[in-house]
Amino acid sequence: MTVITKQLLADIGISLDDSAYAQFTEQYEAELDSRIVNEIVDELDTEQLRELTRFKDSGDDAELQRWLVENVPDLDKIVEEEMAILLGEIAENSESFT
Amino acid sequence: MANRPRRNNPNSSGNNAPVPTTPEQGPLSEYDTKILAAPTPLDLALLPGSETTSFAAEAAYNDVQASLDTTVDLLKQQYPTPVGDKYVSPGGPGIDMLNLMALMAHRRRNEKGNYTPVQDPSATMAQNIICAYPNPKQLIADVSTHAKAMLERSRHQGDTFDPAGLQESFARLLPIVYGPRYQEYRDQHRAERHATATVAAEQAAVATREQQARDEEESLKYTGREILANSKSATLNRTQLINQSLMSLQMRQATARNALSTPKHALLQWNKNRAEAKYLRKQAKVGSSMFKFINNHHARVATKAKRTLDARSGVLSAHQALIDGRTRTVEAQAAVRERAYKEKIKFYSEQKIAAEESRIQRRALRQRELHARSQGMNKHESKLYAARLTPEDKRRIRLVAVTAAKRNAIRQGYNPGTDYDRDN
């Protein structure tokens, strides 16, 4: 599911062709995901990090999801912050894209 | 009986030097206090006027004189003076070392003035040494520095300077000059080194433990990132959250003035995107089953999703047409679009500043919480503690956050201006 739509870019004056747009979204969405993951991991203390590593081999995705909800109460906030920051960066640099 | 007079005795010659066993200026360590409390053989002979009033002082002086002379003679026999050596006198290394110590004492007490060696009886030199260096520790440091310089000089000049004789002379003369105080110095020096080594070992152990903890945490974080990045459901969940946040961010912007990006239009776009995603998901399932009736069911569901998508696309297009219709001319549209870009950019930039502020506050609270946990509070208590920020703390955090966020924005070439003023 595309997060940064063409419309969103068009709203801030960025006009890209299809291939450039595909490259752009892939790069920025990977960056956004990486930032969110980093923030989530930074929220955890050592004990929680140890618990998280239990899921490495178990592969129980549903259980991991439950654990995340329980242990990272600020997950929504983190996502919102990181997305707003990244969008802000894109907007502030919009002139360099055109 | 005695080698008189004691010309260089600072106390008998009216010199205003401190009393020999008086501690030097400055705060003394426990070790130094103990060293200076121990007596020297010449304590009696160093009292003002002692040479004229005390037979005991006279006897002590003579004992030290005899011991030093005997040791100097023995050292001379042990280390015969090499022919042509510039730095070992005919008197042998013992007298050279005694002279060196006396020279150090002279320099310490008289910044200017020449010193002529072998001028005084050896016990008088010992008196001067004790007066200048009540604590043998400093004398040992100074002589060591001077000996190193001599050794370095002899290397460059190709002399036959042999430090072994001087070193042994030093080791044998010090106990005679300082007596019990030298023994106390050695005991305290050993204790001090032991204590220093213990402290250093403890610090090293703490540093090692901290480094191990940091390494472990980094390793755990790395693994955690891998797990979160590779988990399909966690990734999907993040994507959903991102879209929700994006939606809410766009809804927050009330820019109905230009009619290009109304909240209603954003909502219609959002609905269409969701319908499209659902249709693509359903369509992908068609033909994936080995049973015909299941495939038929999938096809029906996909068709329904397509209808929904078409309907929402139609609504969106109609709304888009409505919006486009409002801006009649190309020039008007361009001007409106330009204004809309600027407003959007400003909006996103300010949202970014707000998000950075929020992130800094969240991190600060988390740090407080972790600190509370490290102080033994349980999870609940630590959360309460973290939340109990004083108004001053909050103001300070906000100030730091906003300043940092604005600086970031300006560094990236965008000046948020004065509209975003949440410093107060």
Residue A48 inside a domain? The answer is: yes
Structure tokens at B62: 């003579």
- Best CA proximity match to B121, nearest among B5, B277, B280: B5
What type of residue is B18? Answer: P
- Cβ neighbours around A91 below 10 Å, total: 26
Instruction: Report the number of distinct structural domains present in chain A.
Output: 1
Interchain CB distance below 8 Å, B354 and A84: yes
pLDDT band of B412, cuts 50, 70, 90: low
Residue of B nearest to A37 (CA): B225
Residue A1 inside a domain? The answer is: no
Interchain CB distance below 8 Å, B349 and A88: yes
Interchain CB distance below 8 Å, A55 and B355: no
Residue of B nearest to A10 (CA): B341
Buried b (16+ CB within 10 A) or exposed e, B188-205: beeebeeeeeeeeeeeee
Q: Does any CB of chain B come closer than 8 Å to the CB of residue A63?
A: no
CA B163/CA B273 separation, integer angstroms: 89
Residue A40 inside a domain? The answer is: yes
- Cβ neighbours around A14 below 10 Å, total: 22
**B338-383 pLDDT tens trace:** 788 888 888 888 888 888 888 888 888 888 888 888 888 887 787 7
- CA B145 to chain centroid, in Å, comes to 31
CA B346/CA B175 separation, integer angstroms: 83
In terms of phi and psi (left: phi > 0; alpha: psi -120 to 50; beta: otherwise), the region of B287 is left
Q: Does any CB of chain B come closer than 8 Å to the CB of residue A60?
A: no
By CB neighbour count within 10 A (0-12 exposed, 13-18 middle, 19+ buried), where does B148 fall?
exposed
Q: Chain B partners of A83 at a C-beta cutoff of 8 Å? A: 242, 245-246, 249, 355
- Cβ neighbours around A90 below 10 Å, total: 21
**B287-303 pLDDT tens trace:** 888 888 888 999 999 99
Q: Which residues pair with B261 in a beta bridge?
A: B255
Residue A14 inside a domain? The answer is: yes
DSSP 3-state of B146: helix
DSSP label of B89: -
Check whether the bond before B27 is cis (ω within 30° of 0).
no
Interchain CB distance below 8 Å, B352 and A74: no
Residue linked to tokens 């002979």: B45
Residue A23 inside a domain? The answer is: yes
B24 has a pLDDT exceeding 70: no
DSSP label of A47: H
Residue A29 inside a domain? The answer is: yes
Range of the domain at A11: 6-97
Min mean pLDDT across B10-14, B209-213, B232-236 is at B10-14
Residue of B nearest to A86 (CA): B352
Answering whether pTM is above 0.80, one says no
Residue A20 inside a domain? The answer is: yes
